[in-house]
Amino acid sequence: MAILTKSSYNSRSIRLFDELLADLKNGRFAGGELLPPERELAALYGVSRPTLRRTVEQLAVANYLIKQPQRGVMVPDGRNGNTRHQVSWVTTGVSENVLEYGRGLQNALDPDRYTLATYCSHADLGLYHKLIDKVVAMGAAGIVLQGEGLHHDRKPSHNPRELVRSGIPLVVIGGDDHFNLPCDRVFASRTYTSRKAAEYLISKNYRDVAMVSLFLPEFRKPMVAELRNVLGPAGIELPDERIFSFEAPRGWMQPPDPYIDAQEQMARLLAAGFRCGTILVDHDYPAVGVLRALLAAGIRVPEETQVISMLKCQVEGVSPLRLTTIDHHRYDIGYFAGEILRRRMAGYAGALEVHHVLAGEVIVGETG
C-alpha cells in the first residue's frame, strides 16, 4: 500500500511505514491496546520522534491506527469490532441512479465497524479511475466497483496494478468494470426485470405495446425473449417493428444529460407518425426522455400513452402520475455485494463467486 512516497517523505519514513505496518498486521502490538509511548517507540525503530509522528499519522489516516486525544494511539481490535473502517464504493453512475444500491450496501455492513463512503464520478470515466486510485491509496477496508455499463465502446487506459497489488477485498457490481479483475461479482437478472414488467402489463391489460431500449443487443435479446414468453400466452404481442433501439452518443458526455438522446430520437419517431398506447422503456433515463418528447408533441400522458420504466433510479422532478416505474431489485444487488465484501474483510478465502440476483434471492456460482 503506497501512501508514503519518496517525493513527499524521506526513505526513513518509507521504511518505518512498511516496518510498523508489518508489525501491526503480524500482531506485535495487541489489538485494543495503546501503542508504547512515542519516545519508546522511536527508540525501538531507530528513528526520530518527528519521523515517527508523521508515520503514525499516515497509518491512522489509513485506519491501521486510531488516534485518541489525551490517551495516545490505539491499535484497532478487529475481533471486537470496535473500530470503524471505510468501505469505498466507486461508481460511474449519476447520483440519483445509485441510491438504492447504496442503501443495500450500507445495511449489509456492520455499522459499528464499517462506514460506507460513496465516490460517484457522474459518468466521467477518467474521474472514475482517479477515484479508484484514491481509495486504494487511502487504504480502504474494502472496495465496491460499479462501471454502470456506460462505456462499452471504450477500452480502459487505466492500469489497475495498484488495486490488485493492494490486496484490498473487492466486489464488482455488474460486469463493466473495464479491468476483468479477479474478484467476486454481483449481477442483476434482466430476465427477472422483463418478467415483472410483463406481469404488470397483463395485470393492467395494456395491449398496444412498444419497447424502447438503450441496452446493447446482447443484453436486450434475453429481455425481449422473456417479455414475449410471458406476454404471448396473454395474447399481447411485441413485434420486431415495435422494438426501438436508441443510442446515447451525447448523454454521457460532460456534463452528462442522460435524457437527451431518447428525447430527440422519440421526437423523430413521433414526427414520422408513430403512436402507441403503452411504451415500455428499459431504464428511467430514456423513459424520462420519451416522456418529454411525448409532452412536447402534445400527447397526453397517461391518458393517451402510458410510459413504463423497467429500471428504477429515482429520477427527481418526474411526476409518478406520468411515469410508472417497475420496482427493481437494486437494493438486493447492493445488499448481496455488501454481504460478500463483509465476509472477505473478515478473512473468508473461499473461491471467487458470481452472484445473480433474482427476486430477492441469489444464485451463486464460482468464477472460472
Q: What is the CA radius of gyration of the chain?
A: 25
Task: Give domain status of residue 80, yes or no.
Answer: no
Q: Residues 197, 290: one domain? A: yes
Q: Residues 64, 102: one domain? A: no
Q: Residues 202, 144: one domain? A: no
Q: In degrees rounded to 5, what are phi and psi of residue 185?
A: -140, 150
Q: Is 255 helix (H, G, I), strand (E, B) or coil?
A: coil
pLDDT band at 2 (very low <50, low <70, confident <90, very high): very low
Residues forming beta bridges with residue 356, ordered by sequence position: 187, 363
Q: Residues 148, 227: one domain? A: no
**Amino acid sitting at position 147:** G
Parallel, antiparallel or unpaired: strands 306-309 and 278-281: parallel
Q: Residues 221, 242: one domain? A: yes
* pLDDT tens string 67-78: 766 677 878 765
Q: Is there a contact between 281 and 308 (Cβ–Cβ < 8 Å)?
A: yes
Q: Residues 214, 317: one domain? A: yes
Q: What is the pLDDT of residue 34?
A: 85
Q: In degrees rounded to 5, what are phi and psi of residue 309?
A: -95, 140
Q: Give the mean pLDDT of 9-21.
A: 74
* pLDDT tens string 196-253: 889 989 999 999 999 999 877 887 898 899 999 999 999 999 999 999 988 777 766 6
Task: Give domain status of residue 6, yes or no.
Answer: no
Q: Residues 274, 360: one domain? A: no
pLDDT at residue 321 above 80? no
pLDDT band at 317 (very low <50, low <70, confident <90, very high): low
Q: Residues 303, 233: one domain? A: yes
The CATH number that applies at residue 35 is 1.10.10.10
Domain that holds residue 38: 11-74
Q: Which three cell numbers stand for residue 12?
A: 526513513
Q: Residues 96, 150: one domain? A: yes
Q: What is the pLDDT of residue 83?
A: 41
Q: Residues 203, 306: one domain? A: yes
* pLDDT tens string 95-128: 556 777 888 888 898 877 787 888 888 777 888 8
Q: Residues 311, 350: one domain? A: no
* pLDDT tens string 260-292: 889 999 999 999 999 999 999 988 888 989 999
| Average pLDDT of every residue of the chain | 80
How wide is the angle at C-alpha 92 spanned by C-alphas 4 and 94, nearest 5°?
A: 125
pLDDT at residue 9 above 60? no
pLDDT band at 193 (very low <50, low <70, confident <90, very high): confident
Q: Is there a contact between 348 and 171 (Cβ–Cβ < 8 Å)?
A: no
Q: Residues 198, 314: one domain? A: yes
The domain tally of the chain equals: 3
Q: How far apart are CA 241 and CA 249, in angstroms?
A: 23
Task: Give domain status of residue 3, yes or no.
Answer: no
Q: How far apart are CA 331 and CA 106, in angstroms?
A: 10
Task: Give domain status of residue 296, yes or no.
Answer: yes
Task: Give domain status of residue 59, yes or no.
Answer: yes
Q: How far apart are CA 100 and CA 173, in angstroms?
A: 13
pLDDT band at 363 (very low <50, low <70, confident <90, very high): very low
The CATH number that applies at residue 267 is 3.40.50.2300
Share of the chain above pLDDT 90, in %: 26
